[in-house]
Amino acid sequence: MSRQDTPLTRFWHEFRENKIAVVALSVVVVLMLLALFASLVSPQNPYDLANLSLMDSRRPPGFVGSGGYIHLLGTDPQGRDLLSAIFYGLRISIQIGLAAGFVSLSIGAALGILAAYKGGRIESLIMRLVDLQLSFPAILLALVIVALLGQGKVQLISALVAAQYAYFARTAYGAAKAEKGKDYIEAAVATPLGSRLVVLRHLVPNCTPPLIVVATVQIANSISLEATLSFLGLGLPVTEPSLGMLISNGFPYMMSGRYWISVYPGIALIILIVAINIVGDQVRDQFNPRLRK
Amino acid sequence: MTETALSVKNLATHFFTRTGVIKAVDDVSFDLAKGEIMGLVGESGSGKTVTGFSLLGLVDEPGRIVNGSIKLKGKELTTLSNAELRHLRGREISMIFQDPIATLNPVLTIGQQMRLALAAHERITARAAADRSADLLTKVGIPSARARMNAYPHEFSGGMRQRVAIAIALLHRPSVIIADEPTTALDVSIQAQILQQMRGLAAETGTALIWISHDLAVVSSLATKLAVMYAGRIVEQGPTAALLRNPQHPYTAGLIGSLPAMTKAGSPLKQIPGTTPSLLSLPSGCPFAPRCQRATEICQRAPEMVTHGDRGWRCFDPVGQVDEVTS
Amino acid sequence: MTDFVSLENISKIFGPTLTTGDRIASKLGARVETRSIHAVSNVSLSIEKGETIGLVGESGCGKSTLGRLIAGILSPSSGRIILDGGPVIRNGAKVTTRVQTVFQDPFASLDPRMKVGETVAEGPITHGLTTKSDARAYAALWFERVGLDPVWLDRYPHQFSGGQRQRIAIARALAMQPDVLVCDEPVASLDVSIQAQIINLFLELTRDLDLTTIFISHDLSVVQHVSDRIAIMYLGQIVELGPVDEVYENPAHPYTAALFGSVPKLVLDDDELVHFDTIEGEVPSPLSPPSGCFYHPRCPLADENCAKARPEMTGISNNRSVMCHNYQQQLTKD
């Protein structure tokens, strides 16, 4: 008989063995901490106009600005320290990504599991809607919604949720359908236990593994989608520049050699997304061989 | 003088996993004569399936044959390359699995699969392949074989699928067929039909058969000799009826005794206490000792196979009438 | 005979689930499966309190479906099931906790993400057999009853062996304090040496708790050992019913005889050549059962009447019955 051994500890032990995934996870954690404590680790608060000086604008990396410190990554057209702007931008990107991911997960999973458990007309209705949703390119949908609702954090998150809940719904539906047929659900129903108990205590916990996989990928997608929208000028207002907005700001200067304004936020974005995807891949791989028991 | 189809000596197949070495098969030896049917009996974890796979060279990483010799009609198999083994598999030695769904390709008709199996080892025209296939299918009891050859596996019932698998195994008239629990998943009436058929087929084609099963009754109705496995070792072997009538090893006796047919209805069955040991942490000495009522200090040493004529057992204190065997 | 559990003309039909697309397609002439499966056809059975009735048959005979009907997991398409005077199902939902089930695959029947102690206590807490605070002690009691150490209450199913998991499943069922236990192939997925342990546990518990049991199995020797009466099923019908020894000694239905004849027995005699009484052919598809008596295409005693008229369940003695036109021939057969 093995020692006390929850599914979580088992999962972690297996995860630890893939060194690359562990590195990626550390990168994600570091970036999240940087974002969380952006105000503490940034040399400058880039949104406090009092800190900015146009004299410092468009300076290359290594420039010592009027604040008396080195701008490690240079400055942007408004004179903002790029390193600080990236930290604050990370915070916004991650916030939006997590919020959109969490809400999409909740709505999508609820719809998917409901459709699978109830069956019949409800199942057809919900899943046809989801299929319809999935046939639209996400960015198109997000654009339309932002155009309708206007700009702002809530509107942006709503657009992202509308574009992504379908993936969660489809995954949750598949998982719930597969689990529904299993003996332990039948055993629970046979006790008898009410539908609510069966769904909440038995069905949902066993559908979470594939949902976690989708969640990691979708969070990365949210971040990327938000960056795209911001790059196009349809994301958050200028006062809260996310990484996409920073890239967009620097775009006109690419040709004149002031690459750092776009490139460094771009690199930060890529590192974040790739790291999340690697973690997501590892999580997905770990859940797969488990199926052969 | 019956020639030996298969001779296995001191076969050992170990799996080298992260958590330790699993000695799935440890020091297994037996001989199989041409046309003989041998039963390999054991529960899960006994090593019977891995033995079968080892004979075919189908053991994958992290497992491999670490010791021993397998001689198929005099030819040593353990030193052959993958390509050479592939040449032999299906032709000289083939296997029937428990679930034919796994062995039959769902997107090919039965006829196509049999033709492919034939073409893998010999040059044969489509017409000749069809003839041979239909002939074999009829022999294994599939009605209207020619027509059925154009059907897909899912159009057959479980019993029929298993018969197709048997037919495929017989295509090249191999010297040895290894059948791994082929009737376990089938209804008892279908099992009876197939057992009846196998006996006739083995005699007719001269194919030696190793029937792997956990079911003593099934194996005893088909096999002329039995080998009982426990924790990777053969703990007892010998002619079927004699072995079952007078088992020497406590495990064999326990298995026979625990059958419901051996106890009056409604009374508690004679159970073997405990559970099969984990192959990762086998006790040194006799692996059955923790569950054995008769274990003493000597059992802390691993028993060797004691042979008397055509019977053998690994036990220091056999439970049966030894004199009946030696006389 | 007091009927503790009474099945009255139970039928269960599984119809094809046709989507709108299917319906249109079939109207246009496409081949869409519109036949139903009569998994259980007009079965009546009276079970006495405390008896163990064995339900045997091969695949497609309907024994699992019948078990689920008795357990209240499925609701009958027609007929009713009465347990001690009250219904098991009302309006499609199970309304009693007095019948519980032990399933075949002990790994699949335990929620892999729940601690086994919680699994055992869940039903009793929901139905007021114990409170949340007493739940652990309650589960521990049942664990001991089935031979498990209560210290393992906090483990997960994957940490146990097959035999132990089946004990947990039995504990879960018994923790609901049922009067009736439906066991669907409870030892089929277990190793032979473990089967004996579980069968012994089962015999002990049914005696101590005076349980009425429906024991479903394809393994005739196990059923013979644990049952008082045996019911043989074929294509959704009970074709023979009676005390297990009598039916075994002298079967009245040709199928019963053939079934018992197909079971391999241990060969103890060197010269014995085991002969199987094989049945011709295979079980017909439940989508299109034969006319008249379902067994007639494979039956050695079949005559023209058998192909035309469906036999009724006929009483042979006061506790044996058979569904066969020619049962007298079978009884006098050697």
DSSP string, B91-141: TTEEEE-S-HHHHS-TTS-HHHHHHHHHHTTS---HHHHHHHHHHHHHHTT
Contact B266 C196 (CB under 8 A): no
Segments forming the whole domain that contains residue A150: 18-48+74-291
Token digits of residue C26: 């079939």
Cα–Cα dist C11/A129, whole Å: 38
Domain ranges for chain C, please list them.
5-18+34-98+178-332, 112-177
Enumerate the residues of chain C whose CB falls inside 8 A of the CB of residue B195: 264, 276
Helices (runs of H) and strands (runs of E) counted in chain B: 12, 12
Nearest to B276 among C191, C199, C274 (CB): C191
Shortest Cα–Cα distance, C301 to chain A (Å): 41
Cα–Cα dist B158/B193, whole Å: 13
One pLDDT digit (tens) per residue for chain C, 334 residues: 468 999 999 999 998 877 777 778 878 887 777 788 999 999 999 999 999 999 999 988 999 999 999 999 999 999 999 999 899 999 888 999 999 999 999 889 999 989 999 999 999 999 999 999 999 999 999 999 999 999 999 999 988 988 999 999 999 999 999 999 999 999 998 888 899 999 999 999 999 999 999 999 999 999 999 999 999 999 999 999 999 999 999 999 999 999 998 898 888 887 766 777 788 888 888 888 899 999 999 999 988 999 999 999 999 987 899 999 999 888 887 6
- Supply the CATH classification number for the domain B4-92+172-326: 3.40.50.300
Separation of CA A263 from chain center: 21
Enumerate the residues of chain B whose CB falls inside 8 A of the CB of residue C58: 187-190
Task: Read off the pTM.
Answer: 0.88
**Cβ-Cβ contacts under 8 Å for B176 (sequence gap 6 or more):** B5, B6, B32, B55, B72, B92, B93, B94, B207, B208, B209, B210
Nearest to C103 among A1, A2, A183 (CB): A183
Separation of CA B116 from chain center: 26
Contact C93 A192 (CB under 8 A): yes
A48 touches C at CB < 8 Å: no
User: Is A151 within the bounds of a domain?
Assistant: yes
Contact B226, C257 (CB under 8 A): no
DSSP state of C103: -
Contact C113 A293 (CB under 8 A): no
Cα–Cα dist A33/B254, whole Å: 63
**Cβ-Cβ contacts under 8 Å for C285 (sequence gap 6 or more):** C60
Task: Characterize A249-278 residue by residue with b for buried, 16 or more Cβ atoms within 10 angstroms of its Cβ, and e for exposed.
Answer: bbeebeeeebbbbbbbbbebbebbbebbbb
- Report the pLDDT value the prediction gives residue C282, as an integer from 0 to 100: 83
Cα–Cα dist C325/C334, whole Å: 18
* Residue C315: burial class (beta carbons within 10 Å; 0-12, 13-18, 19+): exposed
Enumerate the residues of chain C whose CB falls inside 8 A of the CB of residue B256: 266
Pick the CATH number of C5-18+34-98+178-332 from 3.90.550.10, 3.20.20.450, 3.40.50.300, 3.30.310.50: 3.40.50.300
Enumerate the residues of chain C whose CB falls inside 8 A of the CB of residue B160: 282
User: Is A242 within the bounds of a domain?
Assistant: yes
User: Is A31 within the bounds of a domain?
Assistant: yes
Nearest to B244 among C258, C264, C267 (CB): C267
Enumerate the residues of chain B whose CB falls inside 8 A of the CB of residue C270: 239, 241-242
The enclosing H or E element of C234 equals: strand C229-234
User: Is A39 within the bounds of a domain?
Assistant: yes
Parts of chain B belonging to CATH 3.40.50.300: 4-92+172-326
Q: Mutate which of C113, C159, C174, C214 to disrupt the A interface (most A C-beta within 10 Å)?
A: C113
Contact B229, B41 (CB under 8 A): yes
Nearest residue of chain C to residue B253 (CA atoms): C193
How many other C-beta atoms lie within 10 A of the C-beta of residue A282? 21
Contact C250, C55 (CB under 8 A): no
Shortest Cα–Cα distance, C298 to chain A (Å): 34
Contact B271 C197 (CB under 8 A): yes
**What is the ipTM for the molecules in this complex?**
0.88
Nearest to B187 among C59, C221, C274 (CB): C59
Cα–Cα dist C84/B110, whole Å: 54
Task: Name the domain count of chain A.
Answer: 1
Q: How far is CA B21 from CA A25, A132, A213, B66, B280, in A?
A: 32, 53, 33, 12, 6
CATH number at residue A196: 1.10.3720.10
A184 touches C at CB < 8 Å: yes
Token digits of residue B217: 């009754």
Nearest to A182 among C71, C108, C122 (CB): C108
Token digits of residue C187: 């030892």
Contact C279 B266 (CB under 8 A): no
